[in-house]
């Protein structure tokens, strides 16, 4: 079975995580996919496959005879999807011999256009997989799951020698808690790769340092007819705060290693207003400077409008895993080698975001990220190709072969 055929089956099982939930996992529907994957793993001969009460699937593939002393390697993908555009059944659409041009998504009125997705001509002649335009597809990250499962199948059918292997499928990655309850000891690998990237051949080990910043503004609301030197309009103070940030440091205006302040949401009236930001930067020192600027703004506003007018809360989210991966660059060198061995162009580039691998790297499991062949994630324009998935599965399989020649940690 090819990887894309597995994706079609997994995509039909809706698994949106819920950022407002206090349960683990955040949505019970994730168990539907987890139980299916456990059974498929067992059907592939992975006898210890199991899902725990928190919806983490763990499985181990013993080393081939004579390869027990090889590096313990792991592969990880997440089962949940974003909640956006996931409120009804997902209907994958398979288009063979795609012509590389603008592509209408069913009768949704949406089109995947070359002007927006400039890589589309490069997909000409491939088998394109999309939704019908009314939902996400779910390739993020069910494509990664499908590629790992395909890799395992090929290990069996082709009798490929390998060292000890670990596999995990996690919940709640999309809401930032996928690695929070990951049991590194139970997983049992020395190193791992997440398959959760975009284009096949992507190799990512640098991600943002990340935090969120919340400004709570308390105004003074009095009758506007008698408010001279008394009223403090919280909404206007909120506008003043945002104007104090560099206007060009937004996601729209930055790329590659450039960081940003991103205003996620705002609300306000005269007496009370709120600003909610996420802050991102690849450089640790610059990341600290960004936070210092926010604290300085809080200080200036309170000096101007009165103590307690503004309260700033900064919550740390994740760190740049390059700090860990730089101590074991064989992970990147071997991923690059694996790509070249199977005819895929390696694309080493930073992640403008974070992955489970970031958290796991700091929990003692160095874990860079690999591409799955997909594009346009987190919305109805999501798409992937069967050939891109084949290539991603080949890269994973080649990594198994490479680490079968590597003894110990």
Catalytically annotated residues: 80, 173
Q: Which helix (H) or strand (E) holds 204?
A: strand 202-204
Rounded to whole angstroms, how far apart are CA atoms 79 and 146? Answer: 11
Instruction: Give residues with Cβ within 8 angstroms of 280, minimum separation 6.
Output: 208, 209, 210, 259, 260, 262, 287, 352, 353
Answer yes or no: is 214 a known binding residue. no
* Residue 69 annotated in ligand binding: no
Contact present, 257 and 320 (Cβ < 8 Å): no
Contact 359, 181 (CB under 8 A): no
In angstroms, the CA 311 to CA 301 distance is 10
Residue 174, marked binder: yes
**What token pair was written down for 318?**
């994740």
CA dist 281 and 209 (Å) reads 5
Strands (E), 205-363: 209-218, 260-268, 272-281, 310-318, 347-348
What is the sign of the dihedral through the CA atoms of 5, 42, 191 and 282?
positive
Tell me whether residue 196 is annotated as binding.
Answer: yes
* 253 labeled part of a ligand binding site: no
Measured from the Cβ of residue 45, the count of other Cβ atoms closer than 10 Å reads 12
Going by the annotation, the residues of the binding site for Zn(2+) are 78, 140, 174, 196, 378
Going by the annotation, the residues of the binding site are 78, 140, 174, 196, 378
């Amino acid at each position: 079975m090819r990887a894309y055929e597995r994706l079609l089956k997994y995509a039909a099982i809706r698994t949106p995580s819920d950022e407002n939930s206090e349960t683990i996992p955040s949505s019970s529907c994730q168990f539907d996919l987890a139980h299916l994957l456990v059974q498929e793993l067992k059907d592939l001969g992975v006898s210890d496959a199991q899902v725990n009460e928190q919806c983490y699937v763990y499985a181990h593939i013993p080393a081939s005879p004579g390869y027990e002393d090889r590096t313990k390697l792991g592969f990880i993908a997440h089962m949940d999807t974003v909640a956006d555009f996931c409120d009804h059944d997902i209907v994958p659409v398979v288009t063979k011999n795609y012509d590389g041009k603008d592509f209408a998504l069913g009768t949704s009125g949406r089109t995947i256009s070359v002007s927006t997705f400039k890589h589309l001509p490069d997909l000409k002649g491939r088998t394109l997989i999309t939704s019908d335009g009314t939902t996400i597809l779910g390739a993020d990250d069910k494509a990664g799951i499908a590629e790992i499962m395909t890799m395992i199948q090929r290990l069996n059918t082709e009798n490929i020698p390998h060292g000890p292997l670990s596999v995990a499928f996690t919940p709640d990655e999309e809401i930032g808690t996928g690695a929070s309850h990951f049991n590194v000891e139970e997983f049992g690998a020395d190193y791992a790769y997440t398959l959760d990237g975009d284009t096949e051949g992507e190799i990512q080990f640098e991600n943002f340092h990340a935090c969120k910043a919340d400004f709570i503004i308390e105004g003074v609301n009095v009758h506007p007819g008698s408010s001279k030197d008394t009223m403090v309009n919280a909404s206007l103070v909120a506008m003043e705060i945002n104007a104090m940030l560099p206007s060009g440091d937004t996601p729209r205006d930055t790329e590659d290693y450039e960081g940003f302040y991103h205003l996620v949401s705002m609300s306000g009236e005269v007496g009370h207003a709120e600003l909610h930001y996420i802050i991102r930067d690849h450089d640790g020192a610059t990341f600290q400077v960004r936070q210092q600027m926010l604290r300085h703004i809080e200080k200036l506003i309170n000096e101007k409008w009165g103590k307690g007018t503004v309260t700033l809360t900064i919550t740390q989210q994740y760190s740049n895993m390059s700090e860990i991966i730089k101590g074991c660059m064989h992970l990147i060198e071997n991923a690059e080698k694996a790509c070249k061995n199977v005819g895929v162009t390696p694309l080493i580039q930073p992640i403008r975001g974070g992955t489970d691998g970031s958290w796991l790297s700091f929990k003692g499991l160095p874990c860079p990220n690999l591409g799955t062949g997909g594009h346009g994630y987190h919305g109805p324009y999501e798409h992937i190709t069967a050939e891109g998935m084949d290539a991603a599965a080949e890269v994973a399989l080649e990594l198994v072969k490479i680490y079968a020649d590597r003894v110990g940690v």
